[in-house]
Structure 1
């Protein structure tokens, strides 16, 4: 039998005729419906008080993230005061663990954010006055999230900050000398480090720490350093 849509009015009409005592054959013949349909509508009417069954409840395991929790995550990306559009998924994962005592995967968080209209995109950096307590450029983030169709902004200092060069000497047991130098490390600074920090801890061959090994960087092989070594 070919399926045909039966309007709610016809279903109610069938129920009224049944209540009035009409035989089932006459109801089906008058309304052009099947007996099984009429009996099904009678069951729905008895159970729900209407001839239209309510929508079936969604099946499957309930989501770990309720609407309240998802809204809390969305606020992180849309709140201009306390939010941060550069937040990472693992940071959101920690946020949920601390605030809601939930352990969910980053994939789950990403899926719920996308469903809520929060999408990943390149950050648009906005210059701000440098803060010494803030991250420098080597910690900047390239990607963030915001509402679909809107730009993701990040307030960041454009000052590159102070560059520091590190130099160290090691043996088989670990570090024996180390020095941090503001700016680039030149030949004079490297010479001073070797003379002041490394050579005092070395001994004449063939004793322990009697061989100095350097790479092929030019400033490591100056004539002045060769003479003192």
Structure 2
């Protein structure tokens, strides 16, 4: 059984879901890294090498929109920043399972798998699905 099927079986209402992930943006974010050309010819792309300022965002998304976010210049400082974001900005907008906003869904990034994350989720009687 896939993870999505497991979530679908255990979460009867989609309003229970809160998706949390991170993203980075700079001037090169929208640049293509690969291209295509005619057979036998090399693909050549010319572009300026300007990265500019990096911005990192940690959003918490529901079906109704963003309930919490943290944007910093540069990169988030790993687990420490994520735990702080989860405690201070996400958890106040969540409810105990099986209420709306009670199931947290995250990818399997290393900062989402720490013992402190599981403790925060269990303390609030929530469910966590890291995949």
TM-score (norm. length: structure 2): 0.52
Matched, 1:219 2:94: no
Work out the CA distance in 2 between the residues paired with 1:215 and 1:225.
Answer: 13
2:85 to 193, 201, 206: 193
Q: How far off its partner does 1:223 sit?
A: 0.9
Partner residue in 1 for 2:68: 177
Distance 1:137 1:211, change over 3 A: closer
The RMSD of aligned alpha carbons is 2.7
Q: How far off its partner does 1:194 sit?
A: 0.9
SS at match of 1:209: coil
Distance 1:176 1:139, change over 3 A: closer
Q: How far off its partner does 1:228 sit?
A: 1.4
Work out the CA distance in 2 between the residues paired with 1:138 and 1:210.
Answer: 33
Where structure 2 has 5 or more consecutive residues not aligned to the other structure, the ranges are 1-25, 32-46, 122-131
Greater length-normalized contact order (CA 8 Å, ≥ 6 residues apart):
2
Work out the CA distance in 2 between the residues paired with 1:206 and 1:224.
Answer: 22
> Which structure has greater helix proportion?
1
Distance 1:139 1:222, change over 3 A: closer
Q: How far off its partner does 1:160 sit?
A: 3.0
- Deviation beyond 3 Å, 4+ runs, structure 1: 135-140
Work out the CA distance in 2 between the residues paired with 1:138 and 1:172.
Answer: 26
Name the count of aligned residue pairs. Answer: 82
> Which structure has greater strand proportion?
2
Matched, 1:206 2:87: no
2:53 to 150, 153, 162: 162
Distance 1:139 1:214, change over 3 A: closer
